Amino acid sequence: MDFYMPTKVHMEKDCVKKHKKELTSLGTKALIVTGHSSSKKNGSLNNVTEALSSEGVLYVIFDEIEENPSVETIMKAATLGIEEHVDFVIGIGGGSPMDASKAIALMIANPQENESLLYESKNAPVLPVVAVPTTAGTGSEVTPYAILTLHSEQTKRGISHRIFPVLALVDYTYLTFAPREIMVCTAIDTLAHLIESYLNTKTNVYNRMMTEYGLRIWGCFKDALLSNDAPSESTYQAMMMASTIAGMSISHTGTSLPHGMSYYLTYEQNIPHGNAVGIFLPAFLDIFEDKNQVKRLLGLLDFKNEKAFTKYIDSLFEIVVVNEDDVDRYVAGMMSNQKKLANYPFKMTEDKFYTIFKNSVKIKKNRKFPFFNRNK
């Protein structure tokens, strides 16, 4: 059995303010890494800058992190951090800024290196990273992963380095600013992490302990995602708790096939991460050979059976259309995705992947042109 989760987590309302001494003890000048606008609106950026200023810690802000951050943006932010001589990095926002902050912290600590370091398997120093999540979905505040968009390879891929934040300051009140679409997508990402970690080759007793607890919490708030009413404070709290727990789960196992397949839809059709992952979950459960595990998992989530689960997911997302040629390409890509295949406990085949796609998206047939014999 292995258990390794080195991130110190504080989870409570007004978390940044209450733990500002710990935050500011990490360095003398911070690079704050965030998205374009949400952290300014939900108060998280202000909370962090106030905490730093009150303790005399300097900072510089990079607020250009896009959704599904690219390697190019990482390098731009790292250049700023190097020029400004920062000695720690604070990621504020959803998974995109939090993942970006890890990759940026790596590049700042290795100013002599170029971007290829991100995907090289070698030991390299990294600046301390603090994560302040404002979505409840990725759990990036407690995972060692950073998923970046690689335009050169036209997909998304996790960097080779495992970088756990040293500190996670988790305040569910930031979630109250998220529109319903973001709330649903991110909550389904949490669900996918729990499912893909539970039905994973690398699961173990410790991992199960938290994943089962996470699944139970998730099951308790699932109806809130179907409603247009704003969730209660305790629901937001539960969403954040489930997200962080699910992050701890995948830290031990990694994600599985739905995450691997989702990256194509996000890169090529701009489908938000949680939506792109979520639509594959019912078909993933359907092909999973150990039905006892699936039954137990659905029980923890308080779904009667697979049919009820499929109906639930279908009611949240619109149908995604994919060209037949593209499906063939994705199936071939997944058959060579050794990382994700290793996390799936059974043998995968092209036919099985095709079945997952067929049952998850609408496949648009290639247009057949009539045959003209020009000699006639």
List residues near Zn ion by CB under 5 A. Answer: 189
| Residue 89 sits in the site that holds ligand NAP (CB under 6 A) | no
Tokens found for residue 80: 């700023």
Binding-site member from 143, 173, 207, 253 for ligand NAP (CB under 6 A):
143
Tokens found for residue 244: 């962080």
- Contact region for ligand NAP (CB under 6 A) — 105-113, 134-142, 283-291, 327-335? 134-142
| Residue 135 sits in the site that holds ligand NAP (CB under 6 A) | yes
| Residue 211 sits in the site that holds ligand NAP (CB under 6 A) | no
Binding-site member from 36, 291, 311, 358 for ligand NAP (CB under 6 A):
36
- Contact region for ligand NAP (CB under 6 A) — 45-53, 142-150, 165-173, 198-206? 142-150
Residue 88 to residue 191: CA distance in whole angstroms: 31
Q: How far is CA 317 from CA 66, 278, 280, 338, 360, in A?
A: 23, 8, 11, 29, 11
> 208-222 burial by CB neighbour count: b if 16+ within 10 A, else e?
eebbbbbbebbbebb
| Shorter beta-carbon distance to Zn ion: residue 99 or 189 | 189
| Residue 231 sits in the site that holds ligand NAP (CB under 6 A) | no
- Contact region for ligand NAP (CB under 6 A) — 131-139, 223-231, 290-298, 356-364? 131-139
Longest dimension (CA), the chain: 86
Q: Is the dihedral of CA 18, 20, 23, 25 positive or negative?
A: negative
Interacting positions 257-296 with ligand NAP (CB under 6 A): 273-274
Residue 338 to residue 200: CA distance in whole angstroms: 14
Neighbouring residues of 126: CB distance < 8 A, sequence distance ≥ 6: 102, 105, 106, 109, 161, 163
Binding-site member from 99, 171, 196, 326 for ligand NAP (CB under 6 A):
99
Binding-site member from 27, 81, 128, 137 for ligand NAP (CB under 6 A):
137
Residue 288 to residue 294: CA distance in whole angstroms: 8
Q: How far is the CB of 31 from ligand NAP (least distance, A)?
A: 16
| Residue 147 sits in the site that holds ligand NAP (CB under 6 A) | yes
Residue 161 to residue 126: CA distance in whole angstroms: 10
Question: In sequence order, what are the beta bridge partners of 280?
Answer: none
Answer with the entry of ligand NAP, Zn ion, none that 282 interacts with (C-beta below 5 to 8 A by kind).
none
The vertex-310 CA angle with 176 and 277, nearest 5°, equals: 60
| Residue 68 sits in the site that holds ligand NAP (CB under 6 A) | yes
Answer with the entry of ligand NAP, Zn ion, none that 261 interacts with (C-beta below 5 to 8 A by kind).
none
Cβ count near 101 (within 10 Å): 34
Answer with the entry of Zn ion, ligand NAP, none that 197 interacts with (C-beta below 5 to 8 A by kind).
none
Q: Could you identify the residue written with the tokens 């727990």? A: 245
Q: How far is the CB of 298 from ligand NAP (least distance, A)?
A: 22
| Residue 190 sits in the site that holds ligand NAP (CB under 6 A) | no
Answer with the entry of Zn ion, ligand NAP, none that 37 interacts with (C-beta below 5 to 8 A by kind).
ligand NAP
At 67, phi and psi to the nearest 5?
-65, 140
Q: How far is the CB of 139 from ligand NAP (least distance, A)?
A: 6
Residues found near ligand NAP in the complex (CB under 6 A): 35-39, 42, 67-68, 93-96, 99, 134-135, 137-140, 143, 145-147, 156, 174-175, 177-178, 182, 186, 189, 273-274
